[in-house]
């Protein structure tokens, strides 16, 4: 199975105190959050994990808490704070919370979990409460999109529940102006990671096409790629004025388009911003970071 080698680090590592004890969780907030429903807890998890760059698992002597009495055996349990994990430990007697920085989670933990047949996450389980179960790919996607939300705004995990394939290819997944602005403000490397996270989940990317030509990036002979048509449209200025986004399914990209790019001897400029800044990758480098 091909897996992403992309680093998913936050802007700086979590502070040692946070890794040891968690961020400051006051009693009124704890009491409020444990009353949340499953999807509200999921949104809370995304918000706090994206903010602090760390999540928690339960483990003992190298064994991880996977699933629960009423859950499947292939679901890794995760929490946004060690106190919430301890509250759920009754289902896993003898297990204790362990902090996992997001960089380490994506680079090391997820590949090992997938090798062991774990493909889903049991998110923010509490005793006697229903919990959200999502694929690890969905979790990666949702955390990436949470990171471009304005401060204090939580991602709506149901925003794209009714999204059809036709609407996805025509208009992209849900994206508001504030989220788009935050994504465009990321540096080249962070925009590349964002591209990989959302394209891996939706399995579609966008080119700019006009007058029978594909938009070539500013850094040499490169083809521009975007994770959403709005970002491609924002880059359609200057030499690309009048170009329009064209959706390409990953299956088509891996077939016709990769062969065409290779034949032309081009590289790829991934998620270039309107000012022309973008990370350049070879076909093979991008292929290593996207699902097959």
Q: How many Cα atoms within 13 Å fall on the side-chain side of residue 230?
A: 14
Q: How many Cα atoms within 13 Å fall on the side-chain side of residue 54?
A: 21
Write the DSSP string, 165-210.
HHHHHHH-S---HHHHHHHHTS-HHHHHHHHHHHHHHH-EEEEEEE
Structure tokens at 129: 């409460």
Q: How many Cα atoms within 13 Å fall on the side-chain side of residue 189?
A: 6
Q: What is the pLDDT of residue 4?
A: 40
Interstrand relation of 75-78 and 96-101 (parallel, antiparallel or unpaired): unpaired
Write the DSSP string, 117-147.
T--EEEES--TTS--EEEEHHHHHHHHHHHT
Which tens digit of pLDDT belongs to each residue from 70-106?
555 689 999 999 999 999 988 888 999 999 999 899 8
Domain 16-146 CATH superfamily: Uncharacterised protein PF11572, DUF3234 (3.40.1350.90)
**Residue 197 and residue 106 in contact, taking contact as beta carbons nearer than 8 Å:** no
Confidence band (pLDDT; 50, 70, 90) for 36?
Answer: very high
Q: What is the pLDDT of residue 6?
A: 42
* Segment of 12-26, 84-98, 204-218 carrying the highest mean pLDDT: 84-98
Which tens digit of pLDDT belongs to each residue from 173-193?
999 999 999 999 999 999 999
Instruction: Identify the residue with better confidence: 141 or 71.
Output: 141
In the chain, residues under CATH classification 3.40.1350.90 are 16-146
Whether the model clears a pTM of 0.85, i.e. scores above it, the answer is: yes
């Amino acid at each position: 199975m091909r897996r992403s080698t992309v680093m998913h680090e936050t802007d700086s590592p979590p502070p040692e105190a946070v890794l040891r004890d968690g961020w400051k969780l006051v009693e009124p907030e704890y009491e409020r959050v444990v009353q949340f429903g499953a999807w509200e807890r999921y949104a809370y998890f995304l918000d706090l994990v994206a903010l602090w760059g760390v999540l928690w698992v339960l483990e003992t002597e190298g064994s991880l808490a996977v699933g629960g009495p009423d859950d499947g055996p292939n679901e890794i349990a995760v929490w946004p704070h060690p106190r919430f994990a301890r509250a759920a430990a009754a289902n896993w007697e003898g297990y204790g919370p362990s902090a996992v920085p997001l960089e380490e989670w994506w680079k090391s933990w997820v590949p090992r979990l997938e090798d062991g047949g774990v493909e889903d996450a049991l998110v923010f389980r509490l005793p006697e409460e229903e919990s959200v179960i999502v694929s690890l790919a969905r979790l990666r996607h949702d955390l990436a999109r949470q990171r471009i939300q304005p401060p204090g705004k939580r991602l709506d995990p149901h925003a794209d529940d009714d999204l059809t394939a036709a609407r996805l290819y025509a208009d992209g997944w849900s994206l508001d102006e504030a989220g788009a602005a935050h994504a465009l403000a990321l540096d080249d490397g962070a925009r590349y990671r964002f591209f990989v996270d959302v394209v891996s989940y939706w399995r579609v990317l966008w080119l700019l096409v006009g007058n029978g030509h594909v938009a070539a990036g500013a850094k040499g002979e490169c083809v521009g790629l975007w994770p959403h048509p709005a970002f491609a449209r924002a880059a359609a200025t200057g030499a690309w004025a009048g170009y329009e986004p064209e959706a390409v399914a990953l299956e088509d990209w891996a077939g016709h388009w990769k062969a065409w790019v290779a034949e032309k001897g081009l590289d790829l400029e991934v998620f270039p911003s309107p000012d022309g800044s973008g990370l350049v990758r070879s076909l093979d480098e991008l292929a290593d970071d996207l699902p097959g």
